[in-house]
Structure 1
Amino acid sequence: MGKVLSFGELLLRICPDMKGQWLEENRLPFFVGGAELNVATALALWDVPSSYMTALPDNFMSEQLLAYMQDRHIDTSRILLQGDRVGLYYLPKGKDLKNAGVIYDRAGSSYAGLKPRTIDWDTVFEDVSWFHFSAICPALTQQVADVCAEALEVAKSKNIFVSLDLNYRAKLWKYGKDPVEIMPALAQSCDLIMGNIWAAHNMLGMPLEEELVQNTEKEKLLQHAKLTSEAILKEFPRCKTVANTFRFDHQQGIRYYTTLYTQGELITSQEYVVEKILDKVGSGDCFMAGLLYGFYHQHSPEKTLEFATAAAFKKLFIPSDATTSTVAEIEHTITEYAQ
């Protein structure tokens, strides 16, 4: 099998503390990330041939970032050098990307400057058997959305497996289009769609049954996951697998579980409950990478889901955008928390 190619914007996450101590110390912690790079990093760590495509400025910072990725065994040969800057975002330590406090500084970045009809996708897809992107990409500009459409058209013609993460970032959709005007056309080319029932509603227009989501009652949410998955498969015939994640704050801390719908069956993972976590950023990306890892190795849907869920759960305790957990550590977590 060929490489897994992840396509998206490399970002630097800047982490000011909420009390302003960074001003006194004259120091801002940061992490290298971006949803798709987080996936590529995890896959490379787990010995899956992993390639990453983005656009970076041609300067010394990019040279260092390329070396950083290459040290993690990520193929960077497809990365474009163009434009003037790397995208940034600011997120207070410990907060979630859906938090109102997130500040994006991505306008005018090298990636946001991508234009259709400028990338030779036939060359890009050489030795690639899986193409992964997220809904964050087309959220930036209409031109980037058009670039995604180009990539998917070529990927489909080459019978490349395509996965989509329905990352919903309301603050990014600022160019006059709602997600439901863009995402359904892109989803038509996808074999695996991952997200949650709310993202599927906001981005693909899937029905949301209010009586099933009024609280966090698990059985009702699982019922909705099945309904949403079936609706996605009906609307997007190429898609054969739908994954959903569920993560809630509650009295005992964090509850986390996931589902996978494939071959007419809804599979549910074991549930993880902990009192405290360290960093929510990148957990969903790690789940996506876990799915890719399982399907790449042709594991059963049940084994694939449990691995992906444990990988995402462990990421909640790692202070970075990408996971550092090994396959052995993730498999140990599955056994440790088995009910």
Structure 2
Amino acid sequence: MMEGKVLSFGEILLRICPDLSQDWVGTGALPFFVGGAELNVASALATWGLPSAYISAMPQNDVTLGILQYLKGREINVDGMLMQGDRLGLYYLPKGKDVKHAGVIYDRSGSAFAKLQRSDIDWGMVFKGVSWFHFSAICPAISQEIAKICLDAVREAERQHIFVSLDLNYRSKLWKYGKDPIEIMPELAACSDLIMGNVWAANQMLGTSLDPGLKETKMSYAHTLLEEQAKKTSLEIVGQFDKCQLVANTFRFDYRDKGIRYFTTLFGQEQLFVSDEYLAEEIVDRVGSGDCFMAGLIYGLYQEMGLLNTLKFATAAAFDKLFIASDATDSSVTDIQKRITK
């Protein structure tokens, strides 16, 4: 079994979540959640008992000190947190909306994280006691400087023989500094051991081939077609990036008006593992499901559960998250194991 901390790096955010079906302005009700893709991963791992650490940047004030205490209370190691800058990043996502689409409104320009400089982080020191480093494509989407910080991190991780996982989160509203993902992401993927995302994100960010008739929003495809595309994408990734050992893909489609159809794949050891399909007539919160899947993969691999059992656990964790109204899961390992399709 692996030892050492799992360190996640990314922007800590507040998600403001108005319920547009009610008079949220008149009632003054504006729920919020502490999150961010990488923090959601760190939170899940800490909940499941792994030594989970998280590094980000936020200003030092009474509000952020409260957030810091909250993270510590969740057993997340935040010793590396950079307390600097002037503001915490925000985003607004009306209840029930998906962060990948038009419903999201970002307010994170000029945040403490967005203003990070390469000289702010000594990765050689940060990686002491770390055996796994996790980040997502949201980070290099923010600025050229953050992209360089990510590259510094993965190169140092490679030098120290630290396992690296990359989530190909694609956020079109963030890539605004003159670079397309395809110009940035391959160099980061080349230093990654595990790459997770979906076949559409891989096509946009890494240039893998994609059946032009395969649309991300259409749910009526046969399983075999999607599995064939997942295997093709995975083979292209491991073929292009020598360091990459494992490729995971998620398939999540709207089901009826309020539900979800969901299954996943994991390619490793020269074969494609496919999860069972999960269906839900209605869900509670779309945010953080993919992050929970990523956390499930890390948990299973860290615990040496085997590739198929890792995929089963990660998929059940991701599906379970759809019924939790927050950014990160609070379900235990036992809770998630009960959801695994027998």
Alignment of 1:22-171 (within 5 A): 22-171=24-173
TM-score, scaled relative to structure 2: 0.96
Does the CA-based 8 Å contact 1:212-1:220 persist in structure 2? no
Match of 1:266 in 2: 272
**Paired amino acid for 2:253:** F
> Residue in 1 aligned with 2:246?
241
Counterpart of 2:102 in structure 1: which amino acid? A
1:292 aligns with 2:298: yes
Greater CA deviation, 9-18 or 279-288?
9-18
Identity of aligned residues (%): 59
For each residue in 1:33-84, what CA deviation from the matched residue of structure 2 results, as whole angstroms up to 9, or x when unmatched? 0000000000000000000000010111111111000000000001101101
8 A Cα contact 1:11 1:33, kept in partner? yes
CA distance in 1: counterparts of 2:12 and 2:63, whole angstroms: 12
Check conservation: 2:255, 2:280, Cα contact below 8 A: no
Distance 1:274 1:293 in 2: 24
Structure 1 contact 212–224 (Cα < 8 Å) conserved: no
- Corresponding pairs, count: 336
* Equivalent residue letter for 2:201: A
* CA distance, structure 1, for counterparts of residue 214 and residue 101 of structure 2: 24
Instruction: Determine the structure 2 residue equivalent to 1:224.
Output: 229
1:174 aligned counterpart, secondary structure: coil
In the alignment, does 2:305 pair up with 1:304?
Answer: no
> How much has 1:212 moved relative to structure 2?
5.2
Gaps of 5+ in 1: none
Give secondary structure in 2 for the equivalent of 1:306.
helix
Contact 2:255 2:281 survives alignment (8 Å): no
CA distance in 2, matches of 1:60, 1:211: 51
What are the superposed Cα offsets for residues 102-142 of structure 1, whole Å, 9 maximum, x if unpaired? 10001000000111133111110000000000000000011
Root-mean-square deviation (Å):
1.2
* Kept after mapping to 2: 8 A contact 1:115/1:147: yes
Aligned to 1:192: 194
Letter in 1 for 2:103: G
How far apart, CA to CA, are the structure 1 residues paired with 2:117 and 2:23? 40
Cross-structure match for 1:331: 337
Distance apart, 1:249 and its partner CA: 1.4
C-alpha displacement at 1:99, in angstroms?
2.1
Q: Distance in 1 between matches of 2:125 and 2:213?
A: 49
User: Gaps (5+ residues) in structure 2?
Assistant: none
CA distance in 2, matches of 1:278, 1:202: 29
* Residue pair 2:260, 2:282 contacting (<8 A) in 1 also: yes
Bigger Cα displacement from structure 2, 20-29 vs 67-76:
20-29
Matched residue SS, 1:164: strand
Moved more, 322-331 or 212-221: 212-221
In the alignment, is the contact (CA less than 8 A) between 2:42 and 2:52 conserved in 1? Answer: yes
1:194 and 1:242 in contact (8 A); partners too: yes
By how many angstroms is 1:20 displaced?
5.9
> In structure 2, how many angstroms separate the alpha carbons of the residues matched to 1:243 and 1:19?
36
Q: Which amino acid aligns with 1:41?
A: S
Letter in structure 2 aligned against 1:318: I
Query: Separation in 2 of the partners of 1:146 and 1:192?
Result: 20
Q: Secondary structure at the match of 1:222?
A: helix
Q: Is the 8 A contact 1:6 1:53 kept in 2?
A: yes
Alignment deviations for residues 312-338 of structure 1 (CA, whole Å, 9 cap, x no partner)? 00000000000011000101111xx43
> Match of 1:138, SS?
helix
Amino acid at match of 1:54: S
Instruction: Compute the displacement of 1:216 (Å).
Output: 2.2
1:226, distance to aligned residue in structure 2 (A):
0.1
Give the AA of the match of 1:258: T
What amino acid maps onto 1:320 in structure 2? S
* Separation (CA, whole Å) in 2 of partners of 1:251 and 1:91: 21
> Helix, strand or coil for the counterpart of 1:198?
helix
Pairing 1:249-264 to 2, within 5 Å after superposition: 249-251=254-256, 253-264=259-270
- The whole-number CA distance in structure 2 between the counterparts of 1:129 and 1:84 is 32
Residue 101 of structure 1: how far off its partner (Å): 1.7
Counterpart residue type for residue 262 of structure 1: G
How far apart are residue 274 of structure 1 and its match?
A: 1.4
Alignment partner of 1:183 out of 182, 185, 188: 185
Q: Distance in 1 between matches of 2:278 and 2:42?
A: 25
CA distance in 1, matches of 2:66, 2:85: 17
Native 8 Å contact 1:196 1:243 kept in 2:
yes
Q: Which amino acid aligns with 2:157?
A: A
CA contact (8 A) 1:260 1:266 kept: yes
Q: Which residue of 2 aligns with 1:314?
A: 320
Which residue in the other structure is 2:19 paired with? 17
